[in-house]
Amino acid sequence: MMNEQQQQDVNNNNETPQEEQTQTVNSQDDNQQAVSTEAEPVEATVAEENQQQQQQEIASEDPEQLKAEIQNLQQKLEQETKQRESVSAQAKRLAADFENFRRRSEAQKEEIKENVKQETLSKILEIVDNFERARSQIKPSTEAEMNIHKSYQGLYKQLVETLKSLGVSKMRPEGEPFDPYYHEAMLREPSNEYPEGTVIEELRSGYLIGDNVLRHAMVKVAAAPESSAEETEQAAETNENRNDNENNNNEEQTA
């Protein structure tokens, strides 16, 4: 019996510290919560005090000083606005200059391309001239010569068709008034058939590329008939003699 009671006392002694420890932990948690609850109002109070202090500082500042600061800020704003407008205007000018440069470059490229094209076609026109001279001078008399004549005439036709596809066209100046923009006068010949200044004959073919002259046509131009020239000279002499006679009569009357 004694042993059972002693064992029971020992168990009671062991349980007592555990309960005390639990109570101690609970009391510590309660203390922490109380401290945190007390800290929150303290922080809120400090924030309010800081805000009130800032408001007091703003209110205590001199109104003239505030006006001066506002003016400084307005001046800075105006300066920044002017700088922004200046940079924007400069950017627009640069964009316009670049666009103009791009257009000039494209125009120069097109001009160079057109010049090279005209120079190349001018060289080809010399070959066309040789074909035309051969066609006018060669008179085939046999069948073999006729076959040769047809073969190179076919090549000439192919060359002419190629030039047409590139926009090249031949001038037809005969019977047209002489125009120095299209024609180059090589000879003048008195003519009763054509009016003075009319193209009588084309000595070398002229060509256009589009509306521009690729090569001027060398032409013979009609001049006034010789009889008309003699009549004009005689009329001029008659007028001179008449004027001389009138002058002499006037001098005699004055005398």
Report DSSP letters for 9-39, one per residue.
HHHHHHHHHHHHHHHHHHHHHHHHHHHHHHH
Q: To the nearest whole number, what is the mean pLDDT of the chain?
A: 76
Contacts of 22 (CB under 8 A, 6+ apart): none
pLDDT at 35 over 50: no
CA proximity to 215, closest of 189, 184, 236, 237: 184
Q: Is residue 88 part of a domain?
A: no
Task: Tell me: pLDDT of 25 over 50.
Answer: no
Q: Using alpha carbons, select from 179, 134, 182 the residue that is nearest to residue 156.
A: 134
Rg, Å, the chain Cα set? 58
Tell me, yes or no, whether 109 and 162 share the same domain. Answer: yes
For residues 162 and 174, state if they share a domain. no
- The angle at the Cα of 108, spanning 103 to 114, to the nearest 5 degrees, equals 125
Residue at which a domain ends, from 119, 147, 166: 166
CATH number of the CATH domain containing 199: 2.30.22.10
Give Cα 211 to chain centroid, integer Å. Answer: 24
Any residues with CB less than 8 A from the CB of 196 and at least 6 apart, and which?
222, 223, 224
Q: Of 219, 224, 226, 229, whose CA–CA distance to 175 is shortest?
A: 219
User: DSSP code of 224?
Assistant: -
Structural domain contains residue 37:
no
Residue 139: domain span: 105-166
Mean pLDDT, residues 155-159 = 88
Does the pLDDT of residue 17 top 50, yes or no?
no
221 burial level (CB within 10 Å; 0-12, 13-18, 19+):
buried
pLDDT tens, residue by residue, 212-242: 899 999 999 999 887 554 555 665 666 566 5
Last residue of a domain, one of 147, 166, 185: 166
| Whether 178 and 150 share a structural domain | no
Same domain, 139 and 174: no
Q: State pLDDT tens for residues 37-57.
A: 444 555 667 777 777 766 666
Domain boundary among 166, 197, 219: 166
Sheet containing strand 168-170, edge to edge, reads 168-170, 207-209, 212-215
pTM: 0.51
Does residue 130 lie within any of the structural domains? yes
Q: Report if residue 82 sits inside a domain.
A: no
Same domain, 145 and 175: no
Percent of the chain's residues with pLDDT above 90: 27
**Is 178 inside a domain boundary?**
yes
Same domain for 182 and 159: no
Of 181, 214, 215, 185, residue with least CA distance to 199: 185
How confident is residue 2, by pLDDT bands cut at 50, 70 and 90?
very low
Q: Domain check: are 117 and 144 in the same one?
A: yes
For 59-109, how does the pLDDT look when each residue is reduced to its tens digit (9 = 90+)?
A: 555 677 888 888 888 888 888 888 888 899 899 999 999 999 999 999 999
Residues 224 and 198 in one domain: yes
SS3 193: coil
Alpha carbon distance 67, 136 (integer Å): 102
CA 15 distance to own-chain centroid:
100
Is residue 220, in this structure, part of any structural domain at all? yes
Where are the strands (E) in the chain, listed by range? 168-170, 183-190, 199-204, 207-209, 212-215, 217-223
| φ, ψ at 127 (rounded to 5°) | -70, -40
Instruction: Note whether residue 118 is domain-resident.
Output: yes
Q: Evaluate whether residue 86 is within a structural domain.
A: no
Counting the structural domains of the chain, the total is 2
Strand 207-209 to strand 183-190: parallel, antiparallel, or no bridges (unpaired)?
unpaired
Q: What percentage of the chain reaches a pLDDT higher than 70?
A: 65
Query: Closest Cα to residue 194, out of 220, 230, 231, 229?
Result: 220
